[in-house]
Structure 1
């Protein structure tokens, strides 16, 4: 069909009730882009023959090469429905169309009669209608036009950030699940994201053709298999609902407890609250589950171009069976059967031992299987012609004669069960319009901490909830998209029609003829030189070519946005609120911008717009320099603002590389390229080290390769040298027998500690293991620190509650920036909510720490109140604990002044003045451990003693204060070295960053998969055969440091039969002492003095130390006495 005119799409943006904003979410390779191709073919954007092959929305070359989506892409589609309704109800329907959207499930009696265009569908509400007087009125056709804003998102785990941007802009989602593989890891992830964003999903079970052609299931086996997939998906949704209910219950109990405490203080009993708690609260969860009878499940094969819902078959068979269509729809999936004698539908109890097929098989699946059988599985031309005739389809003779059976199959299904019609009709009926969706989503977005959001009072809040196009502008920019300058409408060459081309050629010929005649006339008349005409024409072409070359290679940034309220226009001034914007400080992280341009995003192309009303997805220009990755656009007329930036699927950036240009003179181009990359990619992090080195952090190997391709080909356009991937490690210690000190360990000690010759920092002879006594080089301060590994349960708790620890630290440090500022309105409400949340977090943290400290032993019991600092970076899983017997931290005013604290010192300086230096030394030590300068994890440092020595004459003399200032710096370094030396007193270990690896493969290559995992030092956690399929699901752990090239290796070894998904999981202890050497007689006999077995931990440690420029013990010549004989030529 011809493509839809741009004016039609722009016109539909104003009709909010007929706009749908949807995204496609799924695990990698479950068919998202193939499905979107079929939807694009319905609008004439691509040929229906190329659907599933061209991958139109994968516009990047590397996306086409790899066959996976790496960036979310948007496109707007047109969909037209003709509903047959009674003439008497047309006027009433037209009056309500502006205020009421199509609710879920209201259109019940429908049979889809697709026109040849594929974008227009006729549905039957009723063939006739009876008026109040009893007379029958004929049905008339009413056309309804819809604008579908579709966003295709990646499924690969490295690009989960793109999924967040897509789901935040949409109101509904098509969640695809492979009919063979079932629910996978990313399926669970995207369902959770949709749940958090209150995005209503429709389930699409795709690739059903694989059940027929690959697995060769019978209809009954396929029916049972599809039921299991529905159970899996609904089980996932049920867990989300349970979590939500438990969270709400916890909040209600906390609020009720607070109210009861208040009533006790007032002297009331609160018995009425006790009696009100006796009833059981129930919540209906039926609306969150997927079931074919509800119309929110689509069965599809995107590659073969067909899809159906049970509604379609209910409309076909209702009249034949003499049943109401609504009743038959509820019976078409489940334990319902057709009695062959009575021709009535019976339940499971009515079987009475008979082996009858469920209706879903008898009326639906058998028909689909029959078409595949006669066309593809067992090709039979005669039977194919009979099937086509029975289905009342019209196929061209050349289509029937085609030797490509798959093409014949696609042609049949595209007329019988067209995919685009089924999917778009489900989108229109099941997914909400922007006004309906924002009434549900906006209160949760604006009041995330409220169980029952309050009624809107501000104008901007009412405008957002009602999706009011006449209100002020509120929009959310989810990401910045980099596009070539020549793609922008103002720079694009205009396409001219054939008539315009003929007219232009006619004018040029007339000019040439006139020039020739002028040359013949000589001096008579006006002289027009032919050469001059040709030269002017060539000059104009050269200018056009130069302008195109100037634009080539340059990039522009546009914001990928959703407008919630108002109408944004070109030239309008708006406020840009950054991610850190706080309503209490309205002048910070806020800037003003003028809208440069507006676009409707059509995949690779952009359509220029003058304005965009509320409820639409669009592109906006002019934000470069104001929005880094995401932000909020706010009407300049309104005071203050509300930050709409929320939490998404933030993948942990685990792979780090350093970059530099091969030509040092091109450093400025690299810096500019990194700035563009940082804005255009929501998941990448760009850093500049203290040494001036430029570093990027990415989510994984595939993400790194995409970033490097963007830098080299689009943003920097220079040759770039990349370092070896830098993988993070952690350092910890275990309670194991100490090894005999080797030369390597001594070298580390000497490299880390200072003044070892003077024994200023040494092991305490009287203290327990890990106790270190340290004295500053100027001998002003002496202290004792005991290092102890943190018990496993306590360590896990600290790792899981990093956010609460940060809140606890901020509160105890007196960091209340808005305490003395007058606030009102939303700013005051936000501040009060945040203060309440901080208090809850602090209380919850201490409540959790108390039993864990008690379980750890007598040395730990009750010490949770004596925590001086967490580290590294003040929030890590390492502890500095006060064991002095008095309050050491002078900034800590929780318990007031401590009588046991020393009040005198030298020149008025007490030990409390050293608190900050002690804590700084602790932070440095935990941030750069002694093994290879990586952060420590799970270590506790007890401050046992600290004193200011009085044997220095300088301290009391003039200038003593400055001398003590010098001592503060020396305390920092002494504390750092004491912590490191105490750490080495235990048995040190490296902790490796680990990937969780999910692989699905067949039994034939299972052994090869195991071999690749074992060679890369991974370990298998779980292996399970998926019931009813030949596929095995493998879960394994793989060290990140060994993962580079793993995906390519495993695909090569298995000939593409296995493809892994790698997700960062945790840090795991490598149980090998990096300083281990053979010591015992048995070890020396088996391994020799040099230990023939490689010490993996030492190899990792030495690689990191070498990269950081630290000392590495390396033998250059192992056998100096060995004779070296050179061959003489």
Structure 2
């Protein structure tokens, strides 16, 4: 165990080959915080006796109260590999001491934006999976996010104590559960990405990239540890033994022979090697300790060369079990070994992550510095999020040095997400006041920090909204903006009880917006201040922060509402036309829906306005059945020049058309932010300009004439194309007893839900997966638990947007009622307009 001082930290930070930057990702309640408590004992941040219950990384008051992680935190750890372990390390010139920067992030689906921000600045991920339930929906979502960021995974299968003591798994059943988890993880990897990006991300117990254990009881192991033990005991090569400890390998204790079959030639059953050589001693310790056979347990511990103090020998039952298992298979030893040996250093990881992370040319000085993790190159620092300081007034810019060296007093270019090289927009040049090293609940000042390390900067937070790139190079492009796996599908309106507190609320909203990567704060048409987030828990945590930390005044909170998108279901029934205010210009247009596949490709920036237009047209023609000529005539995407709505010029030979192109694009950008039915954003629509009549004199076809006309004709074309809404849909994963399947399906049917899959993972337990509209999710957890007597536990993660069936203009239709409610809330009149309001004859 090591107590850090600044000199030691600097020494470790300079040895980039011996640094590991990792995230810990897992489903809520799979034991992530408990695992981190076990690891934290390696740096004396907590006492070993508290491991398994300290929740050291939960630094926020809400986290300690709720018992879940809400905000990401980072803690440095130091670990020394033995000479035997160093045999598996390729780079040995910096010794056997390793600095592990571990970033803890939430496991709850609604808080996964914190996970995404953490993955951007780490190279490896410790994925924790429950031994019984396996890969959950949320684990898989975060796992795919890690793979998309080219983060290499290792896996810990946790809560084996639960499988042994409560579920009473036999050894063979436990092995089959392990094998199923490993198979599902590898299937998820192969389905999402090939092996070429990060070398070989496939996990395997034989390779040492899968650990097994119980963080609650403080123990874990990899096959490597048992292979080392048996190689010394029997004098056999470790590599040969480790291959026998997994899979269809059986050992006959009588004949001392190995086989790949579960029965010998005489039909006698043979023991699986994993069960016999790995699980058998663990099961025996559990059996002796938990059945009060203390003397036998102590004798067996002595046989395993486990030395116990007199105080430890006086313990009984579960306390004795934890002591023996922790000394037999210490969790920190197994996990740290796996992390140091199998996860990449920054120097190795940035070789293959550079092209993904950097927006600029792959051969400029900044890209070269990132690729080589060069401490002497130009500074490239990515701020992944802003962490509030203790006073909740200022923020630490939390991120990673990808190239160069950062130090206090250095003047840097602060490039926001909207910065374009050669332009001054979203660019500030300011000095850094302090460079600090985050250590869980505190900070340590540094006089410099080189490439490959995770640090925080002080004094630049006022120039960043949420994230950004810091550099010393005048030619540097930005690091790519993070893509989040969740969307702000719920919102609440907030206000103050006393009008004199309004300035405090406004300042608090600004701070709240900056503190979270995925929170959206805005002012509605009716003048209300709204906060949009990923779900009820997410909004509840944000509102608590707003009232108690950022605004520090009593606030009024309205009921949460769901965000919708507006779209169309068919091509416009007629060519709509709108005239300019001076009646000298006319625009003719038709609207049509875009396929879900193309909409998703645009949102994921696979199809975007940048790059070669011919190549984009070829892709749209081949993959999405567009006419290649029309695809070449795309004028813009909206909203914000990259949204899933497209403006196409379908005209030919129109005079002066190029002069109004920017005005037409501006009209679509404005319209896409507020649709005609409910004032919600537009999604998945294509707008074809069929014809244009323009006045010959440019003074009569200016911006004030064209943009309003464009907006009106867009609305008319949408209202004549079977307009509808798209609602957000959760993917719900319910863990429950198998006998409750019928009750759960009934609950979903009452909430417009759709059951899609039922997986039975033991004789009594199963997982039910279903789609549930977000609008029906309010109070769903309480309703489900009431219907199942508290035996069902749901987890919800945003999955997709679903087009609602119905007629927006029919007063008897549910969609019309939704639109009217939204319009009333926004103060724009209840009645949904018809296309005649905007279409002119």
For normalisation by structure 1, the TM-score amounts to: 0.66
Distance 1:482 1:920, change over 3 A: closer
Q: How many Å apart are 1:369 and its aligned residue?
A: 1.1
Deviations 1:27-83 (A, max 9, x none): 222211110001112333222232222211011122123222111111112223453
Deviations 1:467-514 (A, max 9, x none): 3445553322221110214xxxxxxxxxxxxxxxxxxxxxxxxxxxxx
Q: How many Å apart are 1:557 and its aligned residue?
A: 0.9
The DSSP-based 3-state class of the residue aligned with 1:1060 is strand
Correspondence for 2:464 among 614, 627, 630: 627
**Where does residue 349 of structure 2 map in the other structure?**
437
CA–CA separation in structure 2 for the residues paired with 1:935 and 1:868: 19
Distance 1:189 1:942, change over 3 A: closer
CA–CA separation in structure 1 for the residues paired with 2:50 and 2:434: 33
Q: How many Å apart are 1:588 and its aligned residue?
A: 4.2
Q: How many Å apart are 1:665 and its aligned residue?
A: 1.7
Residues 888-903 of structure 1 mapped to structure 2, 5 A cutoff: 888=654, 890-892=656-658
**Where does residue 733 of structure 2 map in the other structure?**
998
CA–CA separation in structure 2 for the residues paired with 1:642 and 1:368: 54
Q: How many Å apart are 1:702 and its aligned residue?
A: 1.6
**Where does residue 475 of structure 1 map in the other structure?**
381
Distance 1:363 1:1066, change over 3 A: closer
Distance 1:319 1:1034, change over 3 A: same
Residues 615-654 of structure 1 mapped to structure 2, 5 A cutoff: 615-635=452-472, 638-654=473-489
Residues 127-138 of structure 1 mapped to structure 2, 5 A cutoff: none
**Where does residue 595 of structure 2 map in the other structure?**
795
Q: How many Å apart are 1:721 and its aligned residue?
A: 2.1
The DSSP-based 3-state class of the residue aligned with 1:1035 is strand
The DSSP-based 3-state class of the residue aligned with 1:705 is helix
Q: How many Å apart are 1:876 and its aligned residue?
A: 6.2
**Where does residue 932 of structure 1 map in the other structure?**
678
Distance 1:573 1:1021, change over 3 A: same
CA–CA separation in structure 1 for the residues paired with 2:370 and 2:605: 35
Correspondence for 2:448 among 595, 611, 626: 611
Correspondence for 1:362 among 273, 276, 289: 276
CA–CA separation in structure 1 for the residues paired with 2:806 and 2:535: 26
Distance 1:371 1:469, change over 3 A: same
Deviations 1:134-166 (A, max 9, x none): xxxxxxxx9843322211121222222222222
**Where does residue 422 of structure 1 map in the other structure?**
334
Distance 1:596 1:340, change over 3 A: same
Distance 1:641 1:1005, change over 3 A: same
Q: How many Å apart are 1:693 and its aligned residue?
A: 4.0
**Where does residue 907 of structure 1 map in the other structure?**
none
Q: Residues 678 and 823 of structure 2 are in contact (CA less than 8 Å); yes or no, is this contact kept in structure 1?
A: yes
Q: How many Å apart are 1:732 and its aligned residue?
A: 5.1
CA–CA separation in structure 1 for the residues paired with 2:775 and 2:806: 16
**Where does residue 836 of structure 2 map in the other structure?**
none
CA–CA separation in structure 1 for the residues paired with 2:313 and 2:12: 39
Q: How many Å apart are 1:923 and its aligned residue?
A: 7.0
**Where does residue 258 of structure 1 map in the other structure?**
none
- 1:184 matched to 2:133? The reply is no
Q: How many Å apart are 1:417 and its aligned residue?
A: 0.7
- 1:711 matched to 2:546? The reply is yes
Q: How many Å apart are 1:418 and its aligned residue?
A: 0.8
Residues 1058-1077 of structure 1 mapped to structure 2, 5 A cutoff: 1058-1073=792-807
Distance 1:778 1:679, change over 3 A: closer
Q: How many Å apart are 1:622 and its aligned residue?
A: 1.3
Deviations 1:352-391 (A, max 9, x none): 3442112111111111111112222x33233323322322
Larger Rg: 1
CA–CA separation in structure 2 for the residues paired with 1:938 and 1:213: 52
Matched residues, number: 830
**Where does residue 843 of structure 1 map in the other structure?**
618
For normalisation by structure 2, the TM-score amounts to: 0.87
- 1:148 matched to 2:61? The reply is no
Deviations 1:926-957 (A, max 9, x none): 76555434455666777777779xxxxxx99x
CA–CA separation in structure 2 for the residues paired with 1:222 and 1:448: 49
CA–CA separation in structure 1 for the residues paired with 2:698 and 2:400: 64
Q: Residues 252 and 271 of structure 2 are in contact (CA less than 8 Å); yes or no, is this contact kept in structure 1?
A: no
CA–CA separation in structure 1 for the residues paired with 2:471 and 2:707: 48
Q: How many Å apart are 1:680 and its aligned residue?
A: 1.7
Q: How many Å apart are 1:919 and its aligned residue?
A: 7.7
**Where does residue 818 of structure 1 map in the other structure?**
none
Q: Residues 772 and 981 of structure 1 are in contact (CA less than 8 Å); yes or no, is this contact kept in structure 2?
A: no
User: RMSD between aligned alpha carbons?
Assistant: 4.0
The DSSP-based 3-state class of the residue aligned with 2:486 is coil
Q: Residues 102 and 429 of structure 1 are in contact (CA less than 8 Å); yes or no, is this contact kept in structure 2?
A: no
Q: How many Å apart are 1:997 and its aligned residue?
A: 2.0
CA–CA separation in structure 2 for the residues paired with 1:344 and 1:323: 14
Distance 1:235 1:7, change over 3 A: same
Q: How many Å apart are 1:1049 and its aligned residue?
A: 3.8
Q: How many Å apart are 1:424 and its aligned residue?
A: 1.4
Distance 1:574 1:1060, change over 3 A: same
Q: Residues 525 and 826 of structure 2 are in contact (CA less than 8 Å); yes or no, is this contact kept in structure 1?
A: no
**Where does residue 672 of structure 1 map in the other structure?**
507
CA–CA separation in structure 2 for the residues paired with 1:916 and 1:474: 35
The DSSP-based 3-state class of the residue aligned with 1:1038 is strand
The DSSP-based 3-state class of the residue aligned with 1:1044 is coil
Correspondence for 2:171 among 187, 211, 219: 219
Distance 1:143 1:633, change over 3 A: closer
Residues 1034-1049 of structure 1 mapped to structure 2, 5 A cutoff: 1034-1049=768-783
Q: How many Å apart are 1:877 and its aligned residue?
A: 6.1
CA–CA separation in structure 2 for the residues paired with 1:408 and 1:447: 56
**Where does residue 835 of structure 2 map in the other structure?**
none
Distance 1:416 1:961, change over 3 A: closer
The DSSP-based 3-state class of the residue aligned with 1:290 is coil
**Where does residue 398 of structure 2 map in the other structure?**
560
Distance 1:286 1:43, change over 3 A: closer
**Where does residue 838 of structure 2 map in the other structure?**
none
**Where does residue 287 of structure 2 map in the other structure?**
373
**Where does residue 34 of structure 2 map in the other structure?**
34
- 1:165 matched to 2:71? The reply is no
CA–CA separation in structure 1 for the residues paired with 2:568 and 2:207: 57
The DSSP-based 3-state class of the residue aligned with 1:625 is helix
Q: How many Å apart are 1:303 and its aligned residue?
A: 0.7
CA–CA separation in structure 1 for the residues paired with 2:679 and 2:308: 72
CA–CA separation in structure 1 for the residues paired with 2:348 and 2:24: 20
Distance 1:412 1:1002, change over 3 A: same
Q: Residues 163 and 649 of structure 1 are in contact (CA less than 8 Å); yes or no, is this contact kept in structure 2?
A: no
Q: How many Å apart are 1:650 and its aligned residue?
A: 4.4
Deviations 1:1064-1103 (A, max 9, x none): 33333333445658xxxxxxxxxxxxxxxx8533432331
Q: Residues 992 and 1067 of structure 1 are in contact (CA less than 8 Å); yes or no, is this contact kept in structure 2?
A: yes
Deviations 1:705-728 (A, max 9, x none): 111111111111111223333422
- 1:382 matched to 2:334? The reply is no
Correspondence for 2:819 among 1088, 1101, 1112: 1101
Q: Residues 675 and 715 of structure 2 are in contact (CA less than 8 Å); yes or no, is this contact kept in structure 1?
A: no
Deviations 1:80-121 (A, max 9, x none): 345379xxxxxxxxxxxxxxx9754899xxxxxxxxxxxxxx
Deviations 1:579-608 (A, max 9, x none): 33333x164433222222222211111122
**Where does residue 66 of structure 2 map in the other structure?**
66
Deviations 1:395-451 (A, max 9, x none): 345544545x222211111111111111112222222333333344335544799xx
CA–CA separation in structure 2 for the residues paired with 1:2 and 1:878: 56
CA–CA separation in structure 2 for the residues paired with 1:76 and 1:215: 36
Correspondence for 1:236 among 188, 199, 207: 188
Q: How many Å apart are 1:641 and its aligned residue?
A: 2.1
Q: Residues 575 and 717 of structure 2 are in contact (CA less than 8 Å); yes or no, is this contact kept in structure 1?
A: no
CA–CA separation in structure 1 for the residues paired with 2:551 and 2:488: 22
Q: How many Å apart are 1:917 and its aligned residue?
A: 8.0
**Where does residue 745 of structure 2 map in the other structure?**
1010
Q: Residues 587 and 709 of structure 2 are in contact (CA less than 8 Å); yes or no, is this contact kept in structure 1?
A: no
CA–CA separation in structure 2 for the residues paired with 1:1016 and 1:463: 54
CA–CA separation in structure 2 for the residues paired with 1:654 and 1:44: 42
